Chains A and B, each alone.
Chain A
Amino acid sequence: DTGVSQNPRHKITKRGQNVTFRCDPISEHNRLYWYRQTLGQGPEFLTYFQNEAQLEKSRLLSDRFSAERPKGSFSTLEIQRTEQGDSAMYLCASSLGTSSNQPQHFGDGTRLSIL
């Protein structure tokens, strides 16, 4: 499978704990995006990288959230001191950044449940 891969698929944790998710994009894609989706809603943008540079962060990304893409390949999203409102599906997408618009391709997400 050469699509976007996300791990773990499910994460259940107690409020106040830290969690980290991983995304492996499609291999030749230089852009990587994180989105959050709650039930009944479309995905909401969190942040994106071009290679290892984080180019934009949403206001949804509070200071408890941090994302990295240290070598321009895989990315991690960490949430510190989780709150019940953090329960959601966290989706990663990647695209080939060229002068033309290219579609973003999504992984199957990590579902986070905060107890």
Chain B
Amino acid sequence: GESVGLHLPTLSVQEGDNSIINCAYSNSASDYFIWYKQESGKGPQFIIDIRSNMDKRQGQRVTVLLNKTVKHLSLQIAATQPGDSAVYFCAETRAAGNKLTFGGGTRVLVKP
């Protein structure tokens, strides 16, 4: 399939290790943040979200951290698996249901 993110920053991680993907957002008025995973030839897939009244949220093998002071968002993936190889985007929005503004994306490559 066609590659998504030909010139994106790349994070190479050994299978079984933890991954941390970082994102800086631009709008201090944003109050809702989402991480998406995008595989080649597919649309973005929802992973986890967090509201601005929280600084941490956990899902299955994933944790999102939000630091509003420095406008920074991170996604931690525990025990990274080959199926986690993809491009990861953070997205922000202000007010419910509004348009999303996406960050530049990070490619994650999991080495067996």
Q: Which A residues fall within an 8 A CB radius of B?
A: 4, 6, 31, 33, 35, 39-45, 48, 50, 56, 58, 91, 93, 95, 97-109, 111
0/1 per residue, B59-73, Cβ < 8 Å to A?
000000000000000
Chain B interface size range: 20 to 34
Contact among A91, A103, A108 with B34 in the assembled complex (CB-CB below 8 Å): A103
Query: Nearest chain-A residue to B52 (Cβ)?
Result: A101
> Distance in Å from the Cβ of B77 to the closest Cβ of chain A?
18
Is B96 a contact of A99 with CB atoms below 8 Å?
yes
Partner of B96, one of A43, A44, A98: A98
Chain A minimum-CB-distance residue to B47:
A103
Q: Beta-carbon contacts of B81-94 to A below 8 Å, as 1s and 0s?
A: 00000000101010
A contact patch SS? loop
Do the beta carbons of B100 and A43 come within 8 Å of each other? yes
A45 contacts B103, CB within 8 Å? no
Ordered by A's residue number, 19 sampled pairs between the chains whose C-beta atoms are within 8 Å are A33-B99, A35-B100, A39-B3, A42-B103, A42-B105, A43-B89, A43-B102, A44-B102, A45-B101, A48-B97, A93-B43, A97-B96, A101-B96, A102-B97, A104-B46, A106-B43, A106-B46, A108-B41, A109-B42
